Amino acid sequence: MAEALDTLRTRKKAATRQSLHEAALRLAVERGLDGVTVEDIADDAGVSRRTFSNYFANKEDAILHADRERTAELVALVEGRPAGEPPWQALRAATGVLYRAQATPDPEWVTQLRLLRRHPSLLARQAGDHITLEQDLAAVLIRRGHDLDRETAQLMASTFLTVVRTASVLWLEEPGKQPLPDVVDRLLGRLRFEG
């Protein structure tokens, strides 16, 4: 019984977090980031300001929630790759799984990308998230073995994230010309790492 309650509670929390994220993103697109307050987001999601604060520190965090979920999934996918797979191949394969999970990119993610390009405060916050992601990926690559030293793992993670960001920007500038997973994989395929 306690396990069922925990599962229900977990699902309710996830639903509230997602609702706040969706409200934040929608309102920021409609009104511009500066035209939205935490109170507006809480009201739109049907929760109190205090409830908002239980989930997010500010509106930027609420907007970037889905991005953070995707990065956590990416780290887990890299961790789950076969042990014998070389590090760069593991990163590339994990990205393929992540991006091909949906035939087309999530419209919310595309909206978020466009919003990021218009608001430096969101870009700054995302840059901080990417530093954390880079460190997490480097740590996973080291744990996977292959005699990978910290310097090489950090360089590999940083290069990988730069390529993925570049592919996303190129795709966003010409959506529909090529599927995003193909652009990402093509650019990742241009690089080789020893080790």
Domain edge (last residue) among 20, 35, 56: 56
User: What is the spatial distance between Cα 142 and Cα 148, in angstroms, rounded to a whole number?
Assistant: 6
For residues 66-75, give the mean pLDDT.
88
**Domain co-membership, 76 together with 48:** no
pLDDT of residue 113: 63
Range of the domain at 40: 1-56
Same domain assignment for residues 92 and 47: no
Question: 112 and 60 in contact (C-beta within 8 Å)?
Answer: no
| pLDDT tops 60 at residue 141 | yes
3-state secondary structure 15-66: HHHHHHHHHHHHHHHHHCHHHCCHHHHHHHHCCCHHHHHHHCCCHHHHHCHH
* Token pair of 12 as six digits: 């309710």
Tell whether 155 and 183 lie within a shared domain. Answer: yes
| Same domain, residue pair 72 and 116 | yes
CATH number for the domain that contains residue 13: 1.10.10.60
What is the mean pLDDT of the segment spanning 160-166?
Answer: 91
Measure the CA–CA gap between 53 and 47, rounded to whole angstroms.
10
- pLDDT confidence bin for 110, thresholds 50/70/90: low
Residue 139 sits in the same domain as residue 175? yes
Instruction: Kindly state whether residues 52 and 66 are assigned to the same domain.
Output: no
The pLDDT of 105-123, averaged and rounded, is 67
Both 43 and 94 in a single domain?
no
Q: Say what the pLDDT of residue 175 is.
A: 65
Is residue 26 domain-shared with residue 91, that is, in the same domain?
A: no
The most confident of the ranges 91-105, 107-121, 178-192 is 178-192
109 with 148, same domain: the answer is yes
Q: How many domains does the chain have?
A: 2
Query: Would the pTM of this model clear 0.75, i.e. be above it?
Result: yes
Quote the CA–CA distance of 54 and 103 in Å, as a whole number: 34
CATH of the domain at 73: 1.10.357.10
61: pLDDT strictly greater than 80: yes
How much is the pLDDT for 117?
A: 65
Q: Which of 35, 56, 77 is the last residue of a domain?
A: 56
Let me know whether 120 and 153 are in one domain.
yes
pLDDT of residue 26: 87
Q: End-to-end CA distance of the chain, in Å? A: 49
Final residue of a structural domain among 30, 56, 82: 56
Q: Is the pLDDT of residue 76 over 90?
A: yes
What is the pLDDT, as a whole number, of residue 174? 76
pLDDT at 66: 83
| pLDDT tens digit sequence for 4-54 | 666 888 889 999 999 999 999 889 888 888 899 999 999 999 999 999 999
**What is the pLDDT, as a whole number, of residue 55?**
95
The answer to whether residues 101 and 137 belong to one domain is yes
Are residues 118 and 64 located together in one domain of the fold? yes
